[in-house]
Structure 1
Amino acid sequence: MVERLRYRLEIGDGAGSCFRNQRYRVVESRHWAVGISVRGWSVSSSNAATPFTPPSKISIDLLHYDSIVAAVTGANGVFHLASPNIIDQVHDPEKELLDPAIKGTNSVLTAAKELGVRRVAVTSSISAITPSRYWPADVVKDENCWADIDYCKTKGLWYPLSKTLAEKAAWEFAKEKGLDVVVVNPGTVLGPILPPALNASMLVILRLLQGIAQI
């Protein structure tokens, strides 16, 4: 039986990352029906054994719940993959990083619960684990280790803060609502990307090759 899965890449910057692209190729190789949802960009799988044709354009805004409902409807599983990562100066942390990550995660999980999705796989980050300045150096960092929220706020480390708070929100939602949620915390993953635009990770590599010391 073919599972109808929508592989959702919700934020433009994260949509092109190697990790997300490889995840798309994995689900395609299993002949699941796949749909990709991203701000202003959508694609449907040509390899699905049973065709699953999403709307001609699935547009998602993580801060608009109805757009998430439209993307999740009909799916048995959801991969919640991307949240913004800004290499340059962040001018409005709440608007640019925190709200899309935290409120967006809660909205995706809420829609999944209401629409009967069986499982949501959330991509967190190693940035939700470190910096963890008080964690003992000789102890393996496990699910009990979190990035230091106060330190992130003091140092203006908005991406680690957004990923930490978003993952905490995901686990809290799963506990309270009984939704099957799994989380993966990848480090930096580099490789081929699908869209022509550079994502944040690849932009770092480009700037290093260009001899730009300040990243």
Structure 2
Amino acid sequence: MAPASFCHEKVCVMDASGRLGSTLVERLLQSGYTVHAAVQGHGDLKFNGVASENKKLKIFHADPFDYQSIIDALKGCSGLFYAFEPPEDQPTYDEFMAEVEVRAAHNVIEACAQTETIDKVVFTSSVTTVVWRDSPQTTTSDLDERHWSDVNFCRKFKLWHALSKTLAEKAAWALAMDRGINMVSINSGLMMEPHLSITHPYLKGAAEMYECGTFVTVDLNFLVDAHICVFEDVSSYGRYLCFDHAITSHEDAIQLARLLTPSTPSPAQSYEEANIIIPQRLSNKKLNKLMVNFESERLLVD
């Protein structure tokens, strides 16, 4: 359960129709929050295990490109959990998605600046905003939240997901600092879910991430915990790399490949391949430390 001071807060989740957003809505309601669930689509929205009649749940149809609809969804809320979901008419990442995602991020952060009750924004980003650059193997130190992907490198190799996430997050940070918005970001690894497929845009360059020790995944529940932790912990700041598993062995890679392409036979592997362990090059120490301290404080409160 959330600490008592948070139980009566009203927060907005946008976009609440995605897997992360809908799970966040469920968890926040279970913890006693009042939730404005902002969705892009129309029609009824179903949350697993949460009755739409829940008096603490209010559903808004908020388009990130319709400024007034964002303002309406944020009204009276003290916090926003924001995750971009591609528009239905443009579901895949391409060279034009960066402009779309940047515009959406700008609208949402500007709306927060115009909403007097907003105290904190949790902005969902990606590990792909960190890992892409020329010759990452030559870097002596681990990559962490202080690093950014090179946008020119992303353009050159058509890494559209990384380009969009990097430009959108940078735009959000610039506007948040200019408008005095208290914002933290969760830079997520590849979110593991039942319907994950090889076409997921995060997976462009997966082999290279694996070889460089920067291919990481995250369980949905851990990701949700991280979002709530950085929102509730008053000491949270800046960016947090969020993952709970690194793909560092040939067996790890094969298991993931089986999940993504179950009908494809697994490739044969040599003894040498089976025993190679690639050093993990990403650090999530900042988030892990925050979550350990946060859980300790929760136990004391309970």
Distance change in 2, residues 1:148/1:71 (3 Å): same
Instruction: Give every structure 1 segment of 4 or more consecutive aligned residues whose post-TM-superposition deviation is greater than 4 Å.
Output: 41-49, 85-89
Q: Does 1:157 align with 2:155?
A: no
Larger radius of gyration: 2
Residues 86-165 of structure 1: pairs in structure 2 closer than 5 A? 90=94, 93-94=95-96, 97-116=97-116, 117-135=118-136, 136-165=138-167
1:195 corresponds to: none
Query: Match of 1:103, as an amino acid?
Result: R
1:4 corresponds to: 10
Q: Deviations over 1:6-39 (max 9, x none)?
A: 22216xxxx433x434433331231101132222
3-state DSSP class of the match of 1:82? coil
Shift, 1:187, TM fit: 0.3
The separation in 2 between residues aligned to 1:70 and 1:170, in whole angstroms, is: 20
CA contact (8 A) 1:83 1:100 kept: no
What TM-score do you get using the length of structure 1 for normalisation? Answer: 0.76
For 1:179, which of 178, 181, 187 is the aligned residue? 181
Q: Deviations over 1:52-88 (max 9, x none)?
A: 4535xx2222222122112212211110012339886
Shift, 1:186, TM fit: 0.9
Q: Deviations over 1:171-200 (max 9, x none)?
A: 1112111110010101011136xxxxx5xx
The separation in 1 between residues aligned to 2:11 and 2:21, in whole angstroms, is: 15
CA contact (8 A) 2:12 2:37 kept: yes
CA contact (8 A) 2:40 2:63 kept: yes
2:210 corresponds to: none
The unaligned stretches of length 5 or more in structure 2 are: 1-6, 199-256, 267-302
Shift, 1:212, TM fit: 10
1:209 corresponds to: 262
CA contact (8 A) 1:2 1:33 kept: yes
**Percentage identity across aligned positions?**
23
CA contact (8 A) 2:124 2:185 kept: yes
Distance change in 2, residues 1:34/1:118 (3 Å): same
The separation in 2 between residues aligned to 1:73 and 1:87, in whole angstroms, is: 29
Query: Match of 2:12, as an amino acid?
Result: R
What TM-score do you get using the length of structure 2 for normalisation? Answer: 0.56
3-state DSSP class of the match of 1:25? helix
3-state DSSP class of the match of 1:54? strand
Q: How many residues are aligned here? A: 193
Of 33-42 and 98-107, more deviation after overlay is shown by: 33-42
The separation in 2 between residues aligned to 1:107 and 1:88, in whole angstroms, is: 21
